Chains A and B, each alone.
Chain A
Amino acid sequence: MQLYLPIAEVSVNAFLILGLGGIVGFLSGMFGVGGGFLITPLLFFIGVPPAVAVATGANQVVASSVSGVLAQLRRKGVDFHMGTVLLLGGFVGSAIGVWVFAWMTRLGQIDLFVQLSYVLFLGLIGAMMFQESLRSLLRSRKPGAPIRRAHVHSWVHGLPFKMKFRASGLYISVIPPALIGAAVGFLAAIMGVGGGFVLVPAMIYLLGMPTKVVIGTSLFQIIFVTGFTTVMHAVNSQSVDMMLALLLILGGVVGAQIGTRVGVRLKAEQLRILLSLLVLTVAIRIAADLLVTPDELYSVTPGVLP
């Protein structure tokens, strides 16, 4: 069934879009990532203009995150205090990111900058997570091996403004989570993603939060960051396509519910290995675009005059 999208101004197959939304929603519910880093490249691929893909992707992530967060909420998997601290940092980082984005656009190299950010951050985080989770999976198979503590006391615990995060069972300074939130907000604005793929490992490895609350808290923060992004794009560039978003959402919310249930059955290490492989795949795919000689060297962008 073909459907004409009013803002993207292309005609697409409605079932294809529903399917895309479903797959991304499934992964989003399973791993607690928003799925922005998957949906945006996939939309480019089926011919949606980049600006519309980025903005509409953000809108879809809001829906799948709300759906995922509600499922996590019933499992008491959301640390609202931690989420709020991350979010406050996130808005500051996002504002800086929007400014850098505009600056790179003026220089005419925003595409390259976005692609390099994807390769760098996805590659780095994917490789780190893969190595770490593989090691802990092997360790769990070998009984009697020394167990490493999830978090060790370090200089981080000497920082001021300590706060009790009951749901996470942590008593730490608010400075590290606020900084992590800012970094994620910055990346979100630059790369047009929710930032879950950065936030999830950062909460596990840097803050030492238990995996049980990581996914829900990440989704909680992503709802607000992507919500903010959606409205900003709608106001600044009128590039949110409601029709496209609704189709993606319909597929996505169903996928997210199924994904959350599958995620519960998997072990934390297995979940992390799968997520790291997914992240690495996207990084390699984008790196290939930069390295392989393209079929068509020229590209045409309408409506641009200095």
Chain B
Amino acid sequence: MIRALALSLALALPAAAQEMIVAGMSQNRVSITADFDGSEILIYGAVKRDAPPPGGGPLEVIITVEGPSTPVAVRRKDRVAGIWVNNASVNISSAPSFYAVATTGPLSHILSDIDNLRYGITIERVIRTVGIASEADRSGEFILALLRVRTNEGRYRILEGKVELTEDTLFRTDIELPSNLTEGEYKVRLFLLRNKHVVASQERVIGVRKEGLERFIYNLAMQQPLVYGLVSLVLAALAGWGASAAFRLIRT
């Protein structure tokens, strides 16, 4: 009776429950201070199992890091009357400011299209484009352009084979955050895959925040814009006067 119950329980549970992720990060907050020049985050973890590893395909790991999303406008220049002018434009409702995908192998070999769509793993699946087909001819080109521009800026990265997996149990990867980082919550997702299907996943968050002087200046600019503007003016006028006075002292 008990054995039958255990058997039925085991059958009822999906394969995913047999392997779980235990994950950690070198830091769960990034402070943007005056000397901030990018940061590197170590994401590591282990696969926890209640039973021996199931058969089938080899174990693969995908780790994604996603920065806060904003709507973006993508504009194309065209030659009008001999000069290059912003002509057609497409508004994309949501695109992350940063996105990195690190994997244990080539994405096409380890991830099925269906699971990519379901979990939104590659950058194309993360960008939300509601009803853009109506905005311009060949709007697909605008999305490709967005990916190209942001990849060149180092904002979008595909790091295939950059996750190290040891003994099908331990994994680690380093994700570099660029210096032009946007403030906000960075979502870290970890996926375990077998046979191109996700068998387990986990989410963590890294908080990216301005600190110290950066925080103070930013808050003042946002909350007291008039005071901030006047302070900027006074500082400028004082600096101009100070330099003038200093030079006069030097000369005499």
Which residues of chain A come closer than 8 Å to B242, judged between CB atoms? 253
Which residues of chain B come closer than 8 Å to A290, judged between CB atoms? 83-84
Which chain A residue lies CB-closest to B242?
A253
Q: Residue B240 contacts which of A4, A65, A294 (CB distance < 8 angstroms)?
A: A65
Q: Among A147-155, A169-177, A232-240, A272-280, which stretch is in contact with chain B?
A: A232-240
Determine if B240 and A253 form an interchain contact, defined as CB atoms under 8 angstroms apart: yes
Which residues of chain A come closer than 8 Å to B215, judged between CB atoms? 6
Does A257 have its Cβ within 8 Å of any Cβ on chain B?
Answer: yes
Q: 0/1 per residue, B139-160, Cβ < 8 Å to A?
A: 0001001101110100000000
Assess A234 versus B226: contact at CB under 8 Å? Given A298-B75, A302-B70: yes
Does A63 have its Cβ within 8 Å of any Cβ on chain B?
Answer: yes
Query: Distance (Å) between the CB of A206 and the closest chain B CB?
Result: 28
Assess A249 versus B85: contact at CB under 8 Å? Given A240-B229, A257-B247: no
Determine if B35 and A296 form an interchain contact, defined as CB atoms under 8 angstroms apart: no
Determine if B236 and A63 form an interchain contact, defined as CB atoms under 8 angstroms apart: yes
CB proximity to A under 8 Å, residues B185-235: 210, 213-215, 217-218, 221-222, 225-226, 228-233, 235
State the CA gap A62–B232 with chains docked (Å). 10
Which chain B residue lies CB-closest to A233?
B229
Assess A294 versus B239: contact at CB under 8 Å? Given A9-B182, A299-B149, A300-B72: no
Q: Among A83-91, A106-114, A160-168, which stretch is in contact with chain B?
A: A106-114
Determine if B229 and A231 form an interchain contact, defined as CB atoms under 8 angstroms apart: yes
Assess A59 versus B180: contact at CB under 8 Å? Given A234-B229, A298-B146, A302-B72: no
Q: Residue B210 contacts which of A6, A11, A70, A297 (CB distance < 8 angstroms)?
A: A6
Q: 0/1 per residue, B17-55, Cβ < 8 Å to A?
A: 000000000000000111111100000000000000000
Which chain B residue lies CB-closest to A232?
B229
Q: 0/1 per residue, A29-56, Cβ < 8 Å to B?
A: 0000000000000000001000000000
Sample (18) of A-B pairs whose CB atoms are under 8 Å apart: A4-B34, A4-B37, A7-B217, A59-B233, A62-B236, A63-B235, A64-B240, A70-B240, A70-B245, A227-B233, A240-B232, A242-B221, A245-B236, A249-B236, A290-B84, A293-B79, A297-B76, A302-B71
Q: A9-B181, A234-B228, A297-B78 are in contact. List 10 more A-B contacts (CB 8 A).
A: A2-B37, A4-B32, A9-B182, A63-B240, A108-B86, A230-B229, A292-B84, A300-B150, A301-B75, A303-B70
> Lowest 6 CB-CB distances: which A-B pairs, in order?
A66-B240, A234-B229, A253-B243, A11-B179, A298-B145, A67-B240
